[in-house]
Amino acid sequence: MDWFLAVWVGAAGGASMEAVDIVKSIRWHRQMPWNVQSGTIDPPRHRPDVRPGEERLPAPGWKAYCVAGVLRLFVSGTLTGTIAATFPQSMNPFVAFVVGLGALSAVQQVATLVPLMVNSAGRAALGGVSEQAQQQQQALQQQGQPGSGPSSGALPGAPTGSPSAGGSQAGTGAASQQNPMDAGGAV
């Protein structure tokens, strides 16, 4: 199926969802949805997405519903066209219609996941940078070039060859190391 035809079939799916929403609203409120006042919605309940004072707003009007409908058609057509252009061999009219039906919901779900994905990608990128810096410091220490300042990984007053700086001393064997469970001395 051509991506351009898929856009139109997907937009038809979005229009079908918009029609279903309007029919449900008319059955529930017994009037057109753009004439419904926020105070007349039964049962009145507090929703977390409503800011204080919004419950007394006037009805949105038909222009707002037309804009919302056009935007839904745009989202449905765009997502369907994108999928059809990416996977042309698996797109047929039924699949394009179903993608158009669920396009708005899918975009809303992805939009809620994007900040989480960006945060985790940022953490992963910073983790890679930190590991790379540590590897560079270790390579410099192995070459015998101590790093400069406190960023070298050593304690500020400790010499480079001391055990506290991570280096090893010659002649240090297992017999001379203290057992941490022992109070003091010879094993």
At residue 140, does pLDDT exceed 70? yes
How does residue 36 score in pLDDT terms, banded at 50, 70 and 90?
confident
Asked whether residue 88 carries a pLDDT value surpassing 60, the answer given is yes
The angle formed by the CA atoms of residues 28, 31 and 35, to the nearest 5 degrees, is 115
CA distances from 6 to 15, 20, 104, 141 (A): 14, 21, 16, 61
Please say if the pLDDT value at position 150 is more than 80. Answer: no
> Per mean pLDDT, which of 29-33, 51-55, 102-106 is the most reliable?
102-106
Helix or strand holding residue 22 (H, E): helix 3-29
- Which residues, other chains included, contact 69 with Cβ-Cβ below 8 Å and sequence gap of 6+? 15, 18
Q: CA 80 to CA 107: how far, in whole Å? A: 12
3-state secondary structure (DSSP) of residue 115: helix
Q: Which of 28-32, 52-56, 81-85, 133-137 has the highest mean pLDDT?
A: 81-85
For residue 176, the 8-state DSSP code is T
Contacts of 34 (CB under 8 A, 6+ apart): 59, 60, 61, 62, 64, 65
- Reference 176, options 164, 167, 187, 166; nearest CA is 187
Sequence-ordered list of residues with C-beta below 8 angstroms from that of 139, at least 6 positions apart, any chain = none
Looking at residues 114-136, what average pLDDT do you find? 74
Q: Is the pLDDT of residue 96 over 90?
A: yes
Three-state SS for 86?
A: helix
Confidence of residue 39 (pLDDT cuts 50, 70, 90): low
Vertex 37 angle, CA 33 and 39, to 5°:
135
User: Looking at the predicted structure, is the pLDDT value of residue 11 above 90?
Assistant: yes
Single pTM value for the model:
0.53
Contact 175, 187 (CB under 8 A): yes
User: How long is the chain?
Assistant: 187
**pLDDT interval class at 41 (50, 70, 90):** low
